[in-house]
Copies of this chain bind each other. A is one copy, B any other.
């Protein structure tokens, strides 16, 4: 495959497997979630947000090239911020605050679903254990995130009286960051997955894997909070499921 063919194949994976297509997101963005379901989503997704800098530092710790480390460091800055109460994790907590969730409960992550934890931990492990090329490629879901974020912001603001623009400040900041990061990572895999067809297959498989991580997180939410509403003991229980 040429670089452009590889890019087309990556975009094709997104078109089929990105979690934008999951039934739970259709509900979330279309205004069909209860407040409890939106709370469960934000609480579980917090664990993903909190682990992202750990995932990114794990990638930096494997890169023997100063330039790659410097570029990837921007992701740490985006998520951990330059100062306290700055950065993506702090902004996600504004969302969980606005949804009426207890901050200590959210940050402890003790009420998340096991399915959320397994999926996120599998992602961190993937980045630590696979090749650096696969680790970079697994970040490429960012190629597709600006669209889902814009749908999410407009959909959630239009449909839920308990969601305010201030609560969604995380999503306002993300698209330019994600765009910059996805451009870099796409260019990286196009430049580095050139030696063998096997390398390109590993790149495609890494993106499929990452799509599965995001998809599995929504499967776990759907199972616990939509249908059949089986909530594991110890996990968050919305008011209307008590």
> Which residues of chain A have a CB within 8 Å of any CB of chain B?
50, 53-54, 57-58, 60-64, 66-67, 69-70, 73, 76-77, 80-84, 87, 89-90, 128
Contact = CB atoms under 8 A, between A and B. Distances in A.
Nearest to A70: B80
Contact of A60 (B57, B64, B90): B57
B61 A69 contact: no
A53 B69 contact: yes
B66 A81 contact: yes
A90 B62 CA distance: 19
A76 B60 contact: yes
Contacts of A83: 70
Given A54-B61, A60-B53, A66-B87, A80 B76 contact: no
Contact of A67 (B57, B70, B84): B84
Nearest to A58: B61
Contacts of A54: 60-64
Instruction: Work out how many copies of this chain go into the complex.
Output: 2
Given A50-B64, A64-B50, A69 B84 contact: no
Contacts of A81: 66, 70
A87 B87 CA distance: 24
Q: Name, among A60, A62, A66, A69, the residue most crowded by chain B CB atoms within 10 Å (CB to CB).
A: A66
Contacts of A90: 66
A81 B68 CA distance: 12
Given A57-B57, A66-B84, A73-B80, 19 more contacts: A50-B64, A53-B69, A54-B60, A54-B61, A54-B63, A54-B64, A57-B58, A57-B69, A60-B60, A60-B61, A61-B61, A66-B80, A66-B81, A66-B89, A67-B84, A70-B80, A70-B82, A73-B76, A73-B77
Nearest to A54: B61
18 contacts: A53-B60, A53-B66, A54-B62, A54-B64, A57-B58, A57-B60, A60-B60, A61-B61, A61-B128, A66-B81, A66-B87, A66-B90, A70-B80, A70-B81, A70-B82, A70-B83, A73-B77, A76-B76
Contacts of A69: 53, 57, 76, 80
Nearest to A71: B80
Q: Closest 6 CB pairs between A and B?
A: A57-B61, A57-B60, A58-B61, A66-B80, A70-B80, A57-B57
